[in-house]
């Protein structure tokens, strides 16, 4: 600019500008090896080589490129030289000490008046921090995508298990209470058509069949959702379910309540479903004589522990077809942001432990 002191344009000003830049500046010949004519001293800090080492060994640059990037970068360099077009590449380079550094290398041809290339003027910038950040972001994104895919898979598995349970309940209602009541209805219609054949004994049998059908319907309603869960809370509901199961299994049982507070209604249902599925699994497969259920407030959540003295099994073995209980328990817990684990061995009983946050809001149906 006009009016500036002439000393501002002294060659030392340019040298200080070049050597103070946060990058390696260089000038290369337009030959096949891009023989180095000038390299700024920043190369010492970035790559550990002296300026003299870098300039005197024409193949040092190629040897320093990471083996996984070398072929690509050398080809890009050859293409750039052949067409006298800008060279731009991002690649890993190994320092003199063997450390891996990501650089962005850009060079442009400087031409004479006759358009021939006189030399290449370039700059190498350390972009390692950006690449590390990109890698972390990519890993985080992949983890999020993996978790989303896993959640979708878990939700689908849980929905499948729920549909199987709904079909079972529908079949139970159709094949038992409805069939019984339909038969009772037909016999009552016959009696109404022929009141002269009134038989008190037959009416007593009909009444007993109706009471039995009503009891089975009540059991099915209990399986679906006990009123106790809403009126009295989680622990009484689990205790009632254990008592209900004991009529079939004959086992003794105990529920230990170590909760600081009653869970939120939505979380309460999720916890109850896990307990229900864990107890049902023990009822179907464990052949246990005693069952303990412990509810504990732990790490801003609820830890549910179900222990039986049954047959036990090897948790590493693949579950038999139709044995969805433990898989469903795990899916429910993970969908609510928790976890489940099974401790068991043949002949040593089984312990099921599940933890979920008290704000659990996963599928409760």
Sheet containing 36-39: order of strands: 36-39, 24-28, 117-126, 100-111, 87-94
Pairing between β-strand 252-258 and β-strand 290-298 as defined by DSSP bridges: parallel
Q: What is the reported pLDDT for 85?
A: 92
Q: Rounded CA gap, 329 and 323, in Å? A: 12
Q: What is the reported pLDDT for 1?
A: 45
Domain ranges of the chain: 6-126, 129-224, 229-365
Q: Which residue has the tokens 């599940």?
A: 354
Is the CA virtual torsion 308, 312, 316, 319 positive or negative? negative
Q: Helices 325-335 and 265-285: crossing angle, nearest 10°? A: 160
Q: What is the reported pLDDT for 145?
A: 85
Tens of each residue's pLDDT in the chain, 365 residues: 444 454 555 566 556 666 667 899 999 998 887 888 999 999 999 999 999 999 999 899 999 999 999 999 999 999 999 899 999 999 999 999 999 999 999 999 999 988 889 999 999 999 999 998 988 888 888 888 887 777 777 666 666 666 666 676 667 666 667 777 777 777 777 777 777 666 777 777 777 877 777 777 766 766 677 778 888 999 999 998 899 889 888 999 999 999 998 888 878 888 888 898 888 888 888 889 999 999 999 988 999 999 999 999 888 776 655 444 577 788 778 877 889 999 999 999 999 999 998 764 444 45
Q: Find all residues with CB under 8 Å of 188, minimum gap 6, and list them.
A: 206
CB 29 within 8 A of CB 35: yes
User: What superfamily in CATH does domain 6-126 come from?
Assistant: PAS domain (3.30.450.20)
Q: What is the reported pLDDT for 322?
A: 47
Q: What is the reported pLDDT for 227?
A: 79
> What kind of architecture, by CATH, is found in domain 229-365?
2-Layer Sandwich (3.30)
- Around Cβ 194, how many Cβ atoms within 10 Å? 9
């Amino acid at each position: 600019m006009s009016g500036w002191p002439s000393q501002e344009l002294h060659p030392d000003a340019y040298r200080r500008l070049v050597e103070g830049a946060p990058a390696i500046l260089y000038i290369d010949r337009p030959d096949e090896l891009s023989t180095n004519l000038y390299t700024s001293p920043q190369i010492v800090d970035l790559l550990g080589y002296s300026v003299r080492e870098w300039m005197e060994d024409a193949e040092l640059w190629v040897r320093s490129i990471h083996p996984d990037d070398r072929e690509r970068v050398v080809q890009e360099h050859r293409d750039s030289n052949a067409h006298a077009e800008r060279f731009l590449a991002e690649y890993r380079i190994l320092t003199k000490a063997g450390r891996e550094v990501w650089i962005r290398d850009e060079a442009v041809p400087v031409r004479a008046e006759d358009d021939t290339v006189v030399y290449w003027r370039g700059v190498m910038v350390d972009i390692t921090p950006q690449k590390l950040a990109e890698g972390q972001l990519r890993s985080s994104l992949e983890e999020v995508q993996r978790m989303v895919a896993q959640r979708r898979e878990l939700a689908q598995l849980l929905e499948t298990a729920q549909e199987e349970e709904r079909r079972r309940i529908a079949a139970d209602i159709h094949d038992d209470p409805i069939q019984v009541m339909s038969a009772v209805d037909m016999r009552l219609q016959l009696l109404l058509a022929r009141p002269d054949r009134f038989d008190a004994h037959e009416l007593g049998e009909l009444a007993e069949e109706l009471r039995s059908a009503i009891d089975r319907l009540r059991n099915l309603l209990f399986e679906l959702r006990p009123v106790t869960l809403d009126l009295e809370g989680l622990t009484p509901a689990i205790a009632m379910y254990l008592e209900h199961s004991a009529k079939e299994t004959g086992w003794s049982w105990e529920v230990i309540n170590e909760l600081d507070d009653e869970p939120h209604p939505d979380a309460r249902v999720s916890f109850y479903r896990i307990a229900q599925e864990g107890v049902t699994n023990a009822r179907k497969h464990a052949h246990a004589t005693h069952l303990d259920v412990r509810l504990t407030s732990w790490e801003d959540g609820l830890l549910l522990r179900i222990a039986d003295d049954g047959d036990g099994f090897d948790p590493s073995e693949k579950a038999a077809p139709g044995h969805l209980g433990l898989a469903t328990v795990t899916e429910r817990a993970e969908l609510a942001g928790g976890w489940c684990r099974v401790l068991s061995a043949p002949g040593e009983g089984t312990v099921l432990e599940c933890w979920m946050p008290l704000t659990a809001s996963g599928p409760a149906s």
